Amino acid sequence: MAEIVGTDSFLGLIIRQNKKPQQTLVSYLRMILNFRYGMDVVMAGSVSEGCSIIQRNPEGIICAFVVQDEIIDSKTAISTLSKRGDIPLLLLLPRRCVESLKTLRGPLPNVSIGTWERAFDGTSASIKSILEKSFVRNKIDLLIGCDGDISHRELQEKVGRRIKNLHTLPTLPQVVLNIMRLMNDPRATIDDLEKVISSDPSIVWKLLEVIKAPVFAGTRRSGWNLREIIVRLGMRKVGAIAQQIKLVNSFIKVDQRQFDLRRFWEHSIGCAMIADRLYAQRIIPIKEKVEFDEYWIGALLHDIGKLVLGIYFPVYFQKVLDEMQSGRRVVRDFHEAENELGFPGLHEDVTKLMLLKANLEPKLVEEIGAHHVRAQTFGGLASLLHLADNICKDLKLGYLENEQGKFSKKVLRDLGLRLEDIKQIGNALGDGMAQEIEDVVQRSIEQKEKKSALGDSAEESAAPAAEEERNGSDAKGRADDTARLLQMLRELQDRLRAHPHFSPAQREDFLVDAENLRAQVDKNVLNKTVVLALLDQFVGAEFCGDLIAAIQTLLAVRFERQEDIDRSPSAGVAPVR
């Protein structure tokens, strides 16, 4: 049974059955609570368990939800779940259950009822509308968007308090945050940046690879070391490229069908490279000075909210994609599709939360978040990102290949440009720019084994060398897989330590299992039975479901590699008895 530690929690209680329709509804509820209100959730499997949680933790829960396909026939249970009307309670049930329920409601004003059939219809009977009205009555405010003249610092503190326990809002990698801090420190030196980048060897060797790309090469010599690269290209440029490499290789791809991570980074890196071309070559008249790292990192992160939604809430993300394409020759913009579904600007809000969590400068937070330029005023960075984003789509490098750029008349008017001018710029960049983007993306992503450059005629004579290369590749692949698994398990341990709903004994038990799992994974040969038994302790846990799915995927690769080695001739032949 869940136990909430401390009394400063900002939590919603969700009671749900573990069936597919309920899981979909709960996913939407959780997304709204997490990203619109900064509210974490605690789950219960039955009404009686939910009542026990409320009774044992009277201060931590500020709202409650019941999602099930059965009639609730206990007025006492409803009264308990709403704390006798003190907190909002939303009952989300099939229509057939609602009529019999109304007779039990009694005078409790804080109980709202919604039906499954109308949960997503965009009317006042939808989940979102019922929840928002109920929260307004109870003075539960939105995380972003209702603060009037609140200062950036006050907003950052508010967001920090509310999202500190959200596991659906990942933290940017520490080395990325360290480089950001350095770039904002006027006293930072080349030695400081070299030390930070060198702390992550995977960045160093990929950085040396990325700067070989023609777009960065210039007068570069192939023999430059890291320090020479920083001196020649500058701290801001090298720092931004190092951040790019870490970002591209850090986020976990849970399921290939759910989110096209490569396509996402092709668009984001493409935006960065196009912004650089537009600004550095003065193709467009941006009057104010914009630093390289501002527009480069701004472009990399401008759609990070889509990545979070795609990984943690794939059902919603797919609904947006479907709405973008539904029966249209020209697809809708992602923002327009979200608006049609009743979640206007959600991916932008999630992006802003990520940037606030990372303590980015106020200017960056506002202008990166404003790249759709719906506000009346916006700066040069927002204009630059807006143009780069939409030109990138016109080059068929949107998340969907058939997305088209939709340029703001306000931006074009402020810059003295016509739509024809932008189309000419896009045509001039053309296929050459798309190929450069693909080259940089390829160099940024951690590579698996490479294909042999030998022709078919050399295949037989190259067999021994190929076998040796394959063995080396297998060893490297196994080492890479192990490193990633250990990194994921460290994150699992961090989540266990930070999770607010465990008693000390529960937390200690989970941490012991996690440490035993790490010890098993770190071995050269995995004991499949032991590993899966240890992992099973975490399967189904709400707070780490995304991470466990990723670990399971990577373990399957490790097991397959291990079985391939066992089957290969080089593994040895049993002696004849």
In a domain, 417, yes or no: yes
Q: Is 480 in the same domain as 440?
A: no
What local confidence, expressed as pLDDT, does residue 34 receive? Answer: 92
**Which residues, 6+ apart, have CB-to-CB distance to 429 below 8 Å?**
274, 277, 391, 395
3-state secondary structure of 151: coil
Helix 174-183 / helix 190-198 crossing angle, nearest 10 deg: 180
What local confidence, expressed as pLDDT, does residue 447 receive? Answer: 54
Kindly tell me the sign of the dihedral angle through the C-alpha atoms of 147, 150, 156, 160: negative
Which residue has 């099930």 as its token pair? 68
* Environment class of 191 (CB within 10 Å of its CB; exposed 0-12, middle 13-18, buried 19+): exposed
Q: How far is CA 14 from CA 102, 245, 342, 372, 540, in A?
A: 20, 39, 22, 34, 15
Q: Is 202 in the same domain as 140?
A: no
Which residue has 């035993």 as its token pair? 516
Number of domains in the chain: 4
CA-based R_g, the chain, Å: 26
In a domain, 4, yes or no: no
Question: What backbone torsions phi and psi does residue 382 show, to the nearest 5 degrees?
Answer: -60, -40
Distance separating alpha carbons of residues 250 and 484, to the nearest angstrom: 9
- Of 215, 250, 285, at which residue does a domain stop? 250
What local confidence, expressed as pLDDT, does residue 218 receive? Answer: 56
3-state secondary structure of 211: coil
Q: Is 246 in the same domain as 274?
A: no
Q: Is 402 in the same domain as 278?
A: yes
* Environment class of 511 (CB within 10 Å of its CB; exposed 0-12, middle 13-18, buried 19+): middle
Question: What backbone torsions phi and psi does residue 216 show, to the nearest 5 degrees?
Answer: -105, -10
Give the residue from 549, 497, 491, 487 showing the smallest Cα distance to 521.
487
Distance separating alpha carbons of residues 526 and 513, to the nearest angstrom: 16
**47 close to 74: Cβ distance less than 8 angstroms:** yes
Q: How many CB atoms lie within 10 A of CB 406?
A: 16
Tokens of 434: 């798309």
Measured in Å, how far apart are the chain's first and last C-alpha atoms? 57
Q: How many CB atoms lie within 10 A of CB 324?
A: 22
The C-alpha angle with vertex 298 and arms to 296 and 299, in degrees rounded to 5, equals 70
Q: Is 245 in the same domain as 260?
A: no
Distance separating alpha carbons of residues 175 and 219, to the nearest angstrom: 28
Distance separating alpha carbons of residues 212 and 221, to the nearest angstrom: 9
Q: Is 437 in the same domain as 373?
A: yes
Q: Is 339 in the same domain as 416?
A: yes
Q: Is 273 in the same domain as 368?
A: yes
* Environment class of 197 (CB within 10 Å of its CB; exposed 0-12, middle 13-18, buried 19+): buried
- Of 148, 181, 197, at which residue does a domain stop? 148
Q: Is 227 in the same domain as 257?
A: no
The DSSP letter of residue 40 is E
Kindly tell me the sign of the dihedral angle through the C-alpha atoms of 269, 275, 276, 277: positive
Kindly tell me the sign of the dihedral angle through the C-alpha atoms of 136, 139, 145, 148: positive
Return the bridge partners of 67, or none: 16, 92
**Order of strands, sheet of 89-93, starting from the edge strand that comes earlier in the sequence:** 40-44, 11-16, 61-67, 89-93, 111-115
What local confidence, expressed as pLDDT, does residue 104 receive? Answer: 61
**CATH code for the domain in which residue 339 is found:** 1.10.3210.10
**312 close to 546: Cβ distance less than 8 angstroms:** yes
Tokens of 343: 């979640």
Q: How far is CA 511 from the centre of its chain?
A: 25
In a domain, 154, yes or no: no
The C-alpha angle with vertex 158 and arms to 154 and 162, in degrees rounded to 5, equals 170
Q: How far is CA 288 from the centre of its chain?
A: 31
In a domain, 5, yes or no: no
Q: Is 338 in the same domain as 418?
A: yes
What local confidence, expressed as pLDDT, does residue 572 receive? Answer: 41
- DSSP H or E stretch at residue 310: helix 304-312
- Of 230, 250, 270, at which residue does a domain stop? 250
In a domain, 488, yes or no: yes
In a domain, 502, yes or no: yes
What local confidence, expressed as pLDDT, does residue 67 receive? Answer: 94
Tokens of 531: 């590993």
**Which residues, 6+ apart, have CB-to-CB distance to 245 below 8 Å?**
202, 203, 206, 207, 210, 444
Question: What backbone torsions phi and psi does residue 39 show, to the nearest 5 degrees?
Answer: -110, 125
Distance separating alpha carbons of residues 286 and 43, to the nearest angstrom: 50
In a domain, 80, yes or no: yes
Q: Is 257 in the same domain as 370?
A: yes
**Which residues, 6+ apart, have CB-to-CB distance to 305 below 8 Å?**
346, 347, 348, 349, 350, 351, 352, 353, 354
Give the residue from 246, 348, 243 showing the smallest Cα distance to 293.
243
In a domain, 6, yes or no: no
What range does the domain containing 540 cover? 463-571
Q: Is 521 in the same domain as 500?
A: yes
Distance separating alpha carbons of residues 572 and 24, to the nearest angstrom: 50
Distance separating alpha carbons of residues 89 and 402, to the nearest angstrom: 43
**Which residues, 6+ apart, have CB-to-CB distance to 11 below 8 Å?**
4, 39, 40, 41, 42, 60, 61, 62, 500
Tokens of 34: 């997490």
**30 close to 59: Cβ distance less than 8 angstroms:** no
What local confidence, expressed as pLDDT, does residue 9 receive? Answer: 59
Tens place of pLDDT per residue across the chain (577 aa):
344 433 355 789 999 987 878 888 998 999 999 999 999 889 999 999 999 999 887 778 999 999 999 888 788 898 999 998 999 999 999 988 887 766 665 566 799 999 998 888 878 888 889 999 999 999 998 888 655 567 878 888 888 888 877 778 888 888 999 999 898 888 999 999 999 999 888 788 888 888 878 777 554 455 678 888 888 889 999 999 999 999 988 875 544 446 888 899 999 999 999 999 999 999 999 988 999 999 999 999 999 999 999 888 888 999 999 999 887 666 888 988 998 888 888 898 899 899 888 888 887 888 887 766 555 567 889 999 999 999 999 999 999 988 999 998 999 999 999 999 999 999 998 878 888 999 898 888 865 433 323 233 323 333 333 333 334 445 555 677 788 888 888 888 888 887 777 777 777 778 878 888 888 888 878 888 778 878 877 876 667 777 887 788 788 778 777 765 554 444 443 333 3
What local confidence, expressed as pLDDT, does residue 102 receive? Answer: 63
Distance separating alpha carbons of residues 327 and 564, to the nearest angstrom: 46
**CATH code for the domain in which residue 72 is found:** 3.40.50.2300
Distance separating alpha carbons of residues 64 and 26, to the nearest angstrom: 12
